[in-house]
Amino acid sequence: MTEARRPVKKPPMREVLAEAAFQLFLERGFERTTVDDIVARAGVGRRSFFRYFPSKEDVVFPDHERCLADMTALLEAADEGDPVSTVCDAARLVLRMYAANPEFSVQRYHLTREVPGLRTYELSVVRRYERTMAEYLRGRYVGTPDGPLHAEVIAAAVVAAHNNGLRSWLRSGGEGDAEAAVDHALGVVQEVWGAKAAGAAGPTADDDEVVVVVASKSTPMWRVVQRIESALAED
């Protein structure tokens, strides 16, 4: 008796739309591709597109909402261990998301470098990760001297270090060990802040590999992060 053939499982519609969109972006460019083009390539209607993505920009980053939810869950479930180690572990969730699909991640990296609007959108996504980590840290540093300040600075440093390692891997075309590069960068943050911030004390001049960034209170946070990234890249 012949076994009944199992039906082939179709990929989720979100993935179908994202794949169709990227095919078109590579063929025609981002600006020349419309939502109508994407749904035609995917074989669905416009309503299906907007059920999953609010805009054409969102389809370039189809996995960040899920990753942000995973990060939030990880931080909410965190125990009373070192809070800096915890936010570093949270940042590694983003790395693993990128490393799970190197080809797509490298294509997206190059696309965001070419389209200014996507670069701006990407920065807004990064800022959401940073705010999520800062909120967790503020809760851990309640009642400590400069607790809110430590929370903002450490979250910004973790994002800068993570992005330094991740972008080095992306610039290489996805070659090499992405996790090792990010672990090295995050290790710098933990050396500077890990034990010190837990006791609400800042790093001293005797610490190795201290990165000092001077900025006025009016300096945007993204500019502070950019300066930290530049300092890490010079190591």
* CA distances for 39 relative to 27, 56, 183, angstroms: 15, 11, 39
The one-character DSSP state at 58 is G
Residue 112 tokens read as 């965001």
pLDDT tens digits for range 68-105: 999 999 999 998 889 999 999 999 999 999 999 899 89
The pLDDT value recorded for residue 190 is: 92
Q: How far apart, in whole angstroms, are the C-alpha atoms of residue 82 and residue 197?
A: 9
Structure tokens at 161: 């270090």
- CA dist list (Å): 27 to 23, 32, 105, 111, 120: 6, 10, 17, 12, 22
What residue ranges in the chain does DSSP mark as E strands?
A: none
Q: What CATH topology corresponds to 63-233?
A: Tetracycline Repressor; domain 2 (1.10.357)
Contact 215, 227 (CB under 8 A): yes
Nearest CA to 156 out of 106, 81, 231, 96 is that of 231
Residue type, 196: K
Q: Which CATH superfamily is domain 13-52 in?
A: Homeodomain-like (1.10.10.60)
Residues of each domain in the chain carrying CATH 1.10.357.10: 63-233
Closest CA to 41 of 60, 55, 61, 27: 27
- Position 154 scores a pLDDT of 96
Within the chain, which residue ranges are assigned CATH 1.10.10.60?
13-52
221 CB burial (10 A radius; 0-12, 13-18, 19+): middle
Tell me if 222 sits within 8 A of 123, measured CB to CB. yes
pLDDT tens, residue by residue, 171-211: 999 888 999 999 999 999 999 887 554 444 344 334 455 56
CB of 113 closer than 8 Å to CB of 181: no
Q: Which of 12-16, 23-27, 84-88, 143-147 has the highest mean pLDDT?
A: 84-88
